[in-house]
Structure 1
């Protein structure tokens, strides 16, 4: 019987379980034996491999995180580590491997494909930082988690007439900050793709103050901006230049958790199903994505070579609407 292994690697994302479920059930439907590899590439090298059946993925579509767990593995990044991984896959008779994760996970899958393993990647990362696909699994859920936090923080911000800085994830990609800030009505959005000085932010705060609005919401992507110490540096700049009362909320890993949205469940289900179809077609070194609402696939190396195009149009709309 032909077999498929599935693992999750890197940072967890809501919807990964839905993708695992889709891979397992589609694979079994087409007569494959399915193995779950726990703790990513680390678990592969440690032979944490379990056979999965239909009941293994029952009642998980609504759960956040990943039932297969995830970790990072420096050993796998070495040629010796990858060769050991191939030997272990051969030992268990696993000919195909579905990797759910981000760019680092995809790099690992690409290297394994060069050693003869049929690999397919599914994009699971809340940052939405893979340019070849419009959306990655987990992004929509994380964005809605941030929007909910913005709404709650706005209540206390307006009560105390404060400026609140909300720091979100996305060190190298500002999508989470941009879209949650736009949807949440933030007065200022700070992303790595667009440089903004604290003087401009002060100007915006003063503009809103003149029309009687004494509170402001600033959504800041972690590490973005030219401020020393990020959110703390921005807070100090604002207090020094304008004397405003500023509070910081760092959402941190709360953005990774929670039950996945309907969008992420559907996206993950489609991608997991397509990943198995690509295996059946004999494809390897491919990644699944979504473009213009259609499921697509692309060579891993090509997908990873594409540069992210920041949505400047939405950024400008957010600026206009925040006056």
Structure 2
């Protein structure tokens, strides 16, 4: 293998740039030519492919988002779209591809691998919802963004003696809500992986007030319901007025933490090694603090599991 490409796809996450940098420089270190594919699979179809040198990825490790940009591409889900992409890759002499993104991005990479074009997936998503890896690039940064917001909201919740509901991202996974809720000392955490009892939520609020607690924080993952929906349910059930904060896309932005920079560097470098070993259809991840590679299909054929010991602990500590 003499020439590879790298692209970022799906939602952006802090640390993607560290992974891009690692792919480019690790590739060059091993004598490869490395090309960047701009605007994800859409750019692959349209041939937005440019050679990258070591200097082209300088001063990006500290930047959030992705230097290569990202875009949704319904056309790539079709056989015709995939054939167009392969035609462009052949035209630009690419022999392998590193895809940085989530499970949807992995499905595209697997489709190309099955058509004889080896791809390796690197998990980049703040949702931390990729089976096969303990952590994804961007999760730690987003988590710290959420915790900072919780701390600030708690200040005003204390001042006004109110209950605040904070809605966080995570798609169909509860990791962001769970970790942030425990770290932020939330009284109640709602995640998709666990059913909720509205009576229990209200009872917890009333018990807190009875023992002199003047404010409460409730964290709800977007995969359960919106913060406004939960506020309406609580008010209808118990007449308790709440305030709602929807954190939205601030959770995706910002300079990546040291952890996400290191993860991006480790994952990107290992992806290049896997391609040099002649492997395609692999995903990179971390298990028990070790970098691993595994069959990419695991990412969309198995369920992501939240750490329910954290959920149980959060309930025990928020009495």
Report how many residues are paired: 319
Determine the C-alpha separation between the residues in 2 that align with 1:248 and 1:217: 10
Aligned partner of 1:61 in structure 2 is: 61
Out of 240, 246, 253, the residue aligned to residue 250 of structure 1 is 246
Which SS does the other structure have where 1:237 is aligned?
helix
Which SS does the other structure have where 2:17 is aligned?
helix
- Is residue 2:307 matched to residue 1:307? no
Tell whether the 8 Å contact from 2:126 to 2:138 is kept in structure 1 after alignment.
yes
**What TM-score do you get using the length of structure 2 for normalisation?**
0.98
Aligned partner of 2:188 in structure 1 is: 188
Aligned partner of 2:138 in structure 1 is: 138
Aligned partner of 2:287 in structure 1 is: 291
Tell whether the 8 Å contact from 2:131 to 2:298 is kept in structure 1 after alignment.
no
TM-fit CA distance, 1:306: 2.0
Out of 262, 265, 287, the residue aligned to residue 269 of structure 1 is 265
Gaps in structure 1 of 5+ consecutive residues: none
TM-fit CA distance, 1:116: 1.3
Aligned partner of 1:52 in structure 2 is: 52
Determine the C-alpha separation between the residues in 2 that align with 1:123 and 1:178: 20
Determine the C-alpha separation between the residues in 2 that align with 1:41 and 1:4: 15
Tell whether the 8 Å contact from 2:173 to 2:223 is kept in structure 1 after alignment.
no
RMSD between superposed Cα atoms in Å? 1.0
**What TM-score do you get using the length of structure 1 for normalisation?**
0.97
Tell whether the 8 Å contact from 1:39 to 1:69 is kept in structure 2 after alignment.
yes
Q: 1:142-179: per-residue Cα shift (whole Å, max 9, x none)?
A: 00000000000000001001110000001310000000
**Where do 1:134-173 residues align within 5 Å?**
134-173=134-173
Determine the C-alpha separation between the residues in 2 that align with 1:91 and 1:237: 57
TM-fit CA distance, 1:200: 1.3
Out of 273, 277, 281, the residue aligned to residue 281 of structure 1 is 277
**Where do 1:80-159 residues align within 5 Å?**
80-159=80-159
TM-fit CA distance, 1:47: 1.0
Which SS does the other structure have where 2:297 is aligned?
helix
Tell whether the 8 Å contact from 2:46 to 2:88 is kept in structure 1 after alignment.
no
Gaps in structure 2 of 5+ consecutive residues: none
Aligned partner of 2:6 in structure 1 is: 6
